[in-house]
Structure 1
Amino acid sequence: MIRKLSILVLSMAAQAPAFAMDAAQSEAKQVIALQNGEKLYVFKDGLMAKESKFGRAIHLSKGEVVHTADGKSITTMGNEVARLFSLLNKGHHN
């Protein structure tokens, strides 16, 4: 019985980071892969945020031009660092 319970707890702990990633992706209208491994999140209100290749929310300058993985250029709108930080860290509290 204790072994089954420990297996259940370990499997639930392994899924916690996936829930946080899902929170950010479900809140965004679109997630665009950028050339340098970063991701651009476009939210439903048109504002944008950028995630580093290491999974952290990073500063996005107003009007910054970013290049997508397929070679297109996008001019950014907004800097939703706090919003993305909150979504990426959802479910990671002690």
Structure 2
Amino acid sequence: MRTAIPRSCCSPVTSPAICATRPADTVLRGTCADRIAALRRFPPLLALAVRGVAYDAVAKERFHIDGRKALRRLAAALDLSDQGL
């Protein structure tokens, strides 16, 4: 269950100086959306292939997931069936 983010960022643990310089929610949401779009444009498959995934179970799993997605897109572009993928 998601908890709502309070409208005011000022709290006993947050400095008022931080609140004064905090951008508006729409700016923060826009920045977040831009970063997510960049991640989608440049999937980690290439970076993982160059870096290698030996001895890193999480990276290896991500590499295989992204690799299967890329192969499915290639098969669809070549008008091949996805049997066995």
Instruction: Give your verdict on TM over 0.5.
Output: no
User: Normalized per residue, which structure has more helix?
Assistant: 2
State the TM-score, normalized to the length of structure 1.
0.28
State the TM-score, normalized to the length of structure 2.
0.30
Instruction: Point out the structure with max Rg over C-alpha.
Output: 2
Which fold has the larger relative contact order, with Cα–Cα distance below 8 Å and residues 6 or more apart in sequence?
1
